[in-house]
Amino acid sequence: MGTLSLKDYDEVRIPAPWGHISGRWYGNRTERPILALHGWLDNSGTFDRLIPLLPDYIGVLCIDLPGHGRSSHLPPGVQYSINDYVYIIPRVMREYNWKKVSLMGHSLGGVLSFIYGALAPHTIDMIISLDILIPLRVDIDYMGKSLEKLLVEAERQDQGNLHEPPSYTFAQLANLLAKGSHNSVTPEFAPNLLHRQVIKSQLYPERYYFSRDGRVKHYHYIDIDPGLAVEMARQLRKKPFLIIKGGLSPYLPPRVPAEGPISILAENNPHFEFHSIEGGTHHMHLHAAEECARHIVPFIQHHRPPPLTSWSLSGREEVRSHKVQSRRNGFFGWGNKKRSKL
């Protein structure tokens, strides 16, 4: 088995009432892939450094959430909301007629994975959450200021329909992205995100402007009460769940706490894993992709193992011999609860 290639993908456009959901489906297109969800103000390019490290027997469908990347913006007067983003997951599942879903989410994408999993745990077969579980709590002042900024942005867009937005050189955009992420996305890795969220200026040939909807900066925030978070985690307590924390990030504790939703996920759950990337920032899957892959790859191989037909075998007799031995071990494809080395 090899790894995925960034060059092996299909562009996808999933119809929606407001337009379409855009994305790229990497690798195997004949079986259900992992659905990858990016973070706030990012896009599917956030997984560009991680994709080439993942096993090639399973595909990965990376989508742009509405208002991000190359997906359609919501109509004027409609506010972006975490609750509405959650429904993107079953919409994608319905498009491809999936009964189950494997989720990998970073930041906002991880929050969406947790919320959806709690609402429909019977459809989840594994979740990989990168540097998040539930959002940090905010006070009423923060929410009020966001509302004011949203109104200002909506007015700016009404006026902006008459002229082109401010444009910048590519280097300037990379620095703006680094500044906006508190250097979690450094200028070195900014191009992984910029290639899906900029438009070339018609007025200045060497400049570009952001294509994402400015309203997503002030989306409707959700504050999950600690008691509710625990009850949500109970719905997923036996599910395969991998959490990877950026060591320098404030979004998760340094280790599994004694109480709270993470402790519920870990309680008597042999399928739960929690790892921390030393020195990792919130976007550690960009600047420390190899370290993340060391945890993600075996997790995928364990909970979404390849079918026998995809394994490298010397002939049909070897396949038949493996099947016979597997039945003797009592569990097809496994012996003594360990993966076959074939």
Q: What percent of the chain has pLDDT over 90?
A: 75
pLDDT band at residue 154 using 50, 70 and 90 as cut-offs: confident
Say whether pLDDT at 161 is over 80: no
Q: For the residues 28-34, what does the mean pLDDT come to?
A: 97
Residue 130 has φ and ψ, to the nearest 5°, of: -100, 105
Can you tell me the distance from the alpha carbon of 12 to that of 140, in angstroms, rounded to the nearest whole number? 39
Residue 198: the pLDDT is: 95
pLDDT band at residue 214 using 50, 70 and 90 as cut-offs: confident
Can you tell me the distance from the alpha carbon of 299 to that of 328, in angstroms, rounded to the nearest whole number? 25
Which tokens hold the place of 61? 């469908």
pLDDT band at residue 310 using 50, 70 and 90 as cut-offs: low
Say whether pLDDT at 133 is over 80: yes
Say whether pLDDT at 248 is over 50: yes
Q: Residue 147: exposed, middle, or buried by beta-carbon count in 10 A (0-12, 13-18, 19+)?
A: middle
Structural domains in the chain, sorted by start: 9-137+146-303 (3.40.50.1820), 308-339 (no CATH)
Say whether pLDDT at 313 is over 50: no
Q: For the residues 182-195, what does the mean pLDDT come to?
A: 95
Least confidently predicted of 91-100, 138-147, 148-157, 177-186 = 138-147
Residue 199: the pLDDT is: 94
Q: For the residues 311-336, what does the mean pLDDT come to?
A: 38
Q: What is the pLDDT of residues 35-65, one digit of tens each?
A: 999 999 999 999 999 999 999 999 999 999 9
Residue 333: the pLDDT is: 32
Which residue blocks in the chain are alpha helix, DSSP H?
Answer: 82-86, 88-96, 108-119, 140-160, 170-180, 191-194, 226-234, 261-266, 284-287, 289-303, 316-329
Residue 323: the pLDDT is: 37
Q: What is the pLDDT of residues 83-126, one digit of tens each?
A: 899 999 999 999 999 999 999 999 999 999 999 999 999 999 99
3-state secondary structure 67-113: CCCCCCCCCCCCCCEHHHHHCHHHHHHHHHCCCCEEEEEECHHHHHH
Say whether pLDDT at 318 is over 90: no
pLDDT band at residue 163 using 50, 70 and 90 as cut-offs: confident
> In sequence order, what are the residues at sequence separation of 6 or more whose Cβ sits closer than 8 angstroms to the Cβ of residue 337?
331
The predicted model scores a pTM of 0.87
pLDDT band at residue 32 using 50, 70 and 90 as cut-offs: very high
Regarding predicted confidence, which is higher, 176 or 309? Answer: 176
Q: Among this protein's residues, is 107 annotated catalytic?
A: yes
Catalytic residue among 71, 107, 113, 276: 107
Q: What is the pLDDT of residues 259-299, one digit of tens each?
A: 999 999 999 999 999 999 999 999 999 999 999 999 999 99
